[in-house]
Structures are given as C-alpha cells and as structure tokens.
Amino acid sequence: MQTDMLPWISIASLFCYVPVLCYLDWKYRDIGTHKLWLPLLAINIPVIAAGYLTGYYPPILLILTTVLSFAWFLLFHTKGADCVWLICITMFAVVHPVSGIAFIYPFLMYLVVFTAASIWWVVLDNRIRKGAWKFEIANGVPYLIPISLAFITAVFL
C-alpha cells in the first residue's frame, strides 16, 4: 500500500459514517449501539498503525492526537456517541490528505464555529418561538451534526 493513500482511506471511512450518524442523532438523539463503531475501528486502526510505523505520520502527532482524545473523553464521557465521534475524528484523521498539515488544527477551528452556530440557532429559535432568550431544546441538541459539519468543512476548505 502506498503511504500517500493512508489519509484518504481514513477520510473516506469517516465520510461514510457522517450521513448515518447525523440521521440517527437528528431522528433519535441516539445511535442505538456502540457496535456501530466496529467497522470504523477495523478499517482505521491498521491504517493509522501503518502511517506511524512507516513514518508518514510524524510521531509528535501521535502525542497530540492522544492528548486531545483523552481531553475529549474527560469533557464528554457522559455524552456517548458525541465523545466517540470526536475521538475517532481526532485519532484517525491525522494529516490532511491534500495539504499535508495536521488535520486537528482546521478541525478544531471549524468545530468551535459550528458549535457556536448551533448554540446561537437554538437560542434564536427559542427567542422567535417562545419569546425568551434561553438555551433549551426538547430532546437536546444533536451535536453529531455540528461535529460532522466541522469535519466536512475541514476536509474541503
């Protein structure tokens, strides 16, 4: 396997999960079972291992992605799928396939933007519908959607 294809494999596998996760989060606010993640892990763990063992991914990025994944876990361990999806993106999308820079930098920037936009949308929706400035939604905010939008935007921009 040519090492230049490693980031593309990870990005493609993560892209396959975006519509499924967004649909489940929007419709049910739950993904049902965490067995859903097993194919993603089966594809990406060998790809990531090959990337680090061949030297295609710099070893400092292993430290960075591990620390950030641990931070996601500490912040969101009670959120379930949101936490797992953030960890999967952080661990598997190591290098941007086109530019070659660390993927986490643009992803974090867009994650902040889309999360803030989601919060503002909920507050504005409550202001228009209920006449009150509050952050409240019936079943909770489907955060897998802004996370996925941040991922897609970081890939294409």
Cβ neighbors of 24 (< 8 A, separation 6 or more) are 30, 31, 32, 81, 144
pLDDT tens digit string along 6-58? 999 999 999 999 999 999 998 888 888 889 999 999 999 999 999 999 999 99
Percent of the chain with pLDDT over 90: 66
pLDDT beyond 80 at 150: yes
Q: CA-CA distance, 110 to 157, in Å (whole number)?
A: 10
Q: CA-CA distance, 28 to 104, in Å (whole number)?
A: 29
Identify whether the C-beta of residue 155 lies closer than 8 Å to the C-beta of residue 96.
yes
Q: pLDDT value at position 33?
A: 87
pLDDT tens digit string along 91-148? 999 999 999 899 999 999 999 999 999 889 888 887 888 777 777 777 777 889 999 9
Q: pLDDT value at position 152?
A: 97
Total domains, the chain: 1
Q: CA-CA distance, 140 to 102, in Å (whole number)?
A: 32
Structural domain including 110 reads 3-156
Q: pLDDT value at position 42?
A: 97
